[in-house]
Structure formats: C-alpha cells, structure tokens
Amino acid sequence: MDQGARDRQPHGGFLPSRASFPTDYTEVPLSDNRKEKVSMVSLGCPKNLVDAEIMLGFLDREGYEITTDEKDADIIIVNTCSFIKEAKQESVDAILDLADRKHDGRCRLLIVTGCLPQRYQEELCRELPEVDIFIGTGDYPRIAEIIAEKHGTAEQLRYIGDPNFIYDEESPRLKSTPVYSAYLKIAEGCSNCCSYCVIPSLRGAYRSRPVEALVTEARRLVAGGARELNLIAQDVTNYGTDLAGKPSLEELIRQLAKIEDLHWIRILYAYPNGITDGLIQLIKEEKKVCKYLDIPLQHISDPVLARMNRRSTSAEIRTLLEKLRGEIPDIALRTSLIVGFPGETEDDFKKLLQFVEETQFDRLGVFCYSREEGTPAAEMTDQVSERTKRERYKKIMKAQSRLSFKRNRRLVGKVEEVIVEGYSEETELLLKGRSSRQAPDIDGQVYVTAGNANVGDIVRLKITDSSDYDLIGEILEESHD
C-alpha cells in the first residue's frame, strides 16, 4: 500500500495482521453553499441493506447529498456484517480500502456502522485509528446528529448502545434497490438462540413491527414503483408472537396482498418449526405470493440439530418438505446448511449429503461452520478441522450443482412469469430478469433471447434452455400488464 503504509504486528484480536494508513490527511474546506456528499457501502444481508437505506434516509432529510462514487464523497459510511469469519474479513477489507479515500483530498470522515462495531467496539477503536466514528446497531436514527457532533473535534467517537432500534413507517428511507423490487423488514432481532449464532447479542430480542405500519410502508414502496416485495427478518415465521393480539404472518400477507399494483410477495428466512398448514395454504392459494420458500434448515442429523439448539427434528423437517411438495408441486425450495459443526461425524455428514440428494432443493447455500467467540458452540469439544469442513463443503456444492441443473431442466418448455431487470452484463443483445422462482441476488437469472420489454415489466416467458443456475427463454407477450 502507498501513502506511507505501515505494517502492524499480529495480535490476539479478531483483526488480521495487515497494512494500514496513517491518520493524517489534508481536509478540504467546504464552501458555504456546497452540501456535504455521503457515500454508503453496505455489506452482508438484505436486512443490513435496509438499515443502510434508513440511515441514508435520515441523512437525505438533513440535507446531505447522496453519491454512489466514494471518490467524490466527503463522508464515507461502511455498514458492516460480523455474522461469520468471512463476513468480518470482508468488512475489515472494505474499511481499509475506503480509508485510502481520506488521502485523495476529499473524504474527511470515515464512519463504520452496524454489527462489527456493535460486537467489537474496543478492538476496532484500538486497531482502526483511520475510522472517525463507530456507530452500533441501536443508533442509526442519530447518524446526522452524530456527524454534527464530530465537527470541531479530532477525537475518534463511538456510539454503541443497546441494540434496541427498530424503524417504523415514519422513518425516512432512501431505497437503493431497483425501482421494481424492495425488501420489507417485518421484524428485528432474534430470540431463537441457536448455539452457533451471535445475532441476538448484536440485534437484540425479536421485535415485530405492527401490521398497520408494515402495510403503510408497503403501500409507499409500491407507489414508488415496487412490483415485488421480499419479506425479511431473522425468522419471518415468528412474526407477531411478541405483539398484542399476536397477528400471524398469514394475516400480514393477506393485508399486503390487497395492495393494488403489487404483483409478487416473496417469503425469505422461514424457520421450519414456524411453517404452519395455514401458511402453506396461503402460499398455494394467493396468486400474489410467489411459489417459493426459503427455509434455513442447517442440518438433518438429529444429534447435530440438538447441539445447534434447533427446534425441529429430522422427522419433522422431512414431513414438512413432503407436505410442501405435496400441496404445492411447483414450489421452489431454497435452504442453507452448515457443514463442520462441532461434533459432526462422518456419519452425520453422510446423512446430510444423502438428504440433499434425496430432497433435490431448487436452491441451496452451504457455509463452513465459523467458530464465533461468545457462542455456546465455540466452547464445544470435538471441533472439526478446517480441512474437513472444506472437503464437506465441496461435496455438498458438487452435488447441488448437478441437482440444480436437473431441477432447471424440468422447467424447459414451461411458461414462467419473469420480471425484466435490464440488459445482460455480457451483451446488450440479451435482456435479463428473474422468474418468480428466483430471489434477488442469490438465485441466478433468466436470459431473454427473443422479445422486448421495459425494465420492471413482468412478462410471460417460455423456457427454452437452462444451465446449472440460470434459465434461458423467449417472451410470449410484451408485458403481463
């Protein structure tokens, strides 16, 4: 690294040994009539992205100008994730990379927000003097006020309170996703207390947002052009259990389905123990609900599930999946799995691999277990070696690649609804989009070889070919509308 970078010695904290930058830089004074420009980099999951949009909303309301060009920004904010080791590394790498902007002569403040400072405030303040302000997950609505407090002091500031913030329908939000699609965060925090997970300590206990507030926000998002709403929370199926009257997820979805011009409602992060017969029937019968369900199962071996403190048994999981496929034969099922959990034996893994082969999920993500300090799993004996984790990861992914190709081939010749997202990155001769069977960013795409449509149109498309993760097809009509 240039600009007089210096090496730091390895230490006992979570940060890697790495090079960094000196904290001296030339601050460019602002003219009286120029608004300060803010750029946001959001890492991690869609729930984090919504937090970033809320912070941008507060800053926009206070008169800051938002830019997507970090080189042109007076203030750069990195909204971080610290769920697993790889997410922490990505966050630290992004912070160090963006610290370079403080030496370009434009950036005067580097701010780090979110889960990483919420979890590691002492270590970060000590190891990252390049950062001017740290803000935890409970202080997002104060971001403009905090920036104002930084004026006139060279001291590094940190605001890490209790993780109890949850935005409401009155909170300003500057949406960063394409106009036709939006995430709707229906709850914050988590109370499931899986033995490997740090989320409850970073985000607090599970807190649902009222139905009325969610419908109000949803109407505003649809009025702004959203055709698709993706419902998110740490556990969407736990929705309403903490509210007066205990409204259910089904009740919320029925209210959302009444919104005119809303076309797709997608359910993400549905825990298996919370998927009721009523929810299954709603997915089956309500036309606006995508025939798609994301169910984080994590494992299938009962001993591993028990050590994970999961609430479903292998038999219950299999019964649920059989019921879903029986009631909704064309449903697209996504799951996520963890390999290498403490005590996972070769027999446990073989059961998991066999389960993947038998179930044939349409979409599947795999994580190598990450030993996170402060969790019960980190203290368990029989930790699995990194080499074994990687070997098991590769075996699952190899199997899933073959199975995904097989599942996609079954769609060839069928007609699917597809939302058009624009031109392909490879060539402007092809449009690209997603079917109702594909969630944003994680589930592959549909490439359109014939027909025309505008971005955001929902069209009927005949599938003519497929690959491991993507589909190819021809538009049958200009637009669904």
pLDDT at 197 over 80: yes
Q: Do residues 293 and 266 touch, judged by C-beta distance below 8 A? A: no
Most confident of 6-15, 44-53, 289-298: 289-298
Q: pLDDT category, 44, cuts 50, 70, 90?
A: confident
Q: What stretch of H or E contains 61?
A: helix 46-61
pLDDT at 9 over 60: no
Specify the pLDDT at position 76: 92
Q: What stretch of H or E contains 119?
A: helix 115-127
Specify the pLDDT at position 105: 59
Specify the pLDDT at position 164: 86
User: In this predicted model, what pLDDT tens digit does every residue of 106-141 receive, in sequence order?
Assistant: 888 999 998 888 988 888 888 888 899 999 988 999
Range 421-438 average pLDDT: 87
Q: pLDDT category, 7, cuts 50, 70, 90?
A: very low
Range 233-247 average pLDDT: 93
Q: How far is 184 from 50, CA to CA, in rounded Å?
A: 8
Q: Do residues 457 and 476 touch, judged by C-beta distance below 8 A? A: no
Range 251-263 average pLDDT: 96
CA angle 376, 42, 133 (to 5 degrees): 85
Specify the pLDDT at position 11: 27
Specify the pLDDT at position 79: 92
pLDDT at 2 over 50: no
239 CB-near residues (< 8 Å, 6+ apart): 186, 187, 208, 233, 247, 248, 249, 252
Q: How far is 268 from 80, CA to CA, in rounded Å?
A: 21
**Tokens read off for 220:** 């505003």
pLDDT at 13 over 50: no
> Of 40-49, 103-112, 333-342, which range is least confident?
103-112
Q: DSSP secondary structure string, 250-274?
A: HHHHHHHHTSTT--EEEE-S--GGG
pLDDT at 480 over 80: no
Range 261-284 average pLDDT: 96
User: What is the share, in percent, of the chain residues with pLDDT greater than 90?
Assistant: 67
User: In this predicted model, what pLDDT tens digit does every residue of 364-420 receive, in sequence order?
Assistant: 999 999 999 999 999 999 999 999 999 999 999 999 999 999 999 999 999 999 999
Specify the pLDDT at position 19: 28
Q: Looking up tokens 């989320």, which residue turns up?
A: 199
State the average pLDDT for the chain. Answer: 88
Distance, C-alpha 409 to centroid of its chain? 28
Distance, C-alpha 212 to centroid of its chain? 24
Helix axes 211-223, 249-257, angle to 10 degrees: 30
Question: Which pairs count as long-range contacts for 391-396, CB under 8 Å and 24+ apart, including other chains?
Answer: 392/339, 392/340, 392/344, 392/349, 392/368, 393/339, 393/340, 393/366, 393/367, 393/368, 395/353, 396/337, 396/339, 396/352, 396/353, 396/356, 396/364, 396/366
Q: Quick one: 287 exposed, middle or buried, by C-beta within 10 A (0-12, 13-18, 19+)?
A: exposed
pLDDT at 208 over 50: yes
User: In this predicted model, what pLDDT tens digit does every residue of 351-364 receive, in sequence order?
Assistant: 999 999 999 999 99
pLDDT at 23 over 80: no
Higher pLDDT, 321 or 45: 321
CA dihedral 387, 388, 392, 397 (to 10 degrees): -10
Q: How far is 367 from 352, CA to CA, in rounded Å?
A: 13
CA-based nearest residue to 286, from 324, 258, 317: 258
